[in-house]
Amino acid sequence: DVHGVGAVVREGVRRARSTKEGIKLGVCGEHGGDPESIHFFHEVGLDYVSCSPFRVPVARLEAGRAAVEAAGSATA
């Protein structure tokens, strides 16, 4: 739910970074291995995701895709 819970996550990231520059923020749990969620977490500026071992390959692939997409939109 990007508009509900996502808004809370986005605001939490904003407040944490305004209070402590350089703070490392992430998410843990099965949500951390969900491809759509990984793209959202990258967009809001989380530093890492953590998930169960069987989801790690997908999480790594999607994290890479999210970074490439972000880099591509930054240069466009």
* pLDDT tens by residue, 38-73: 999 999 999 999 999 999 999 999 999 999 998 988
pLDDT for position 9:
94
Q: Comparing C-alpha atoms, which of 19, 69, 7 is closest to residue 44? A: 7
pLDDT for position 76:
64
* pLDDT tens by residue, 12-41: 999 999 999 999 999 998 888 889 999 999
pLDDT for position 74:
75
Q: CA–CA separation, 25 vs 67, rounded Å?
A: 16
Q: Comparing C-alpha atoms, which of 53, 48, 24 is closest to residue 37? A: 48
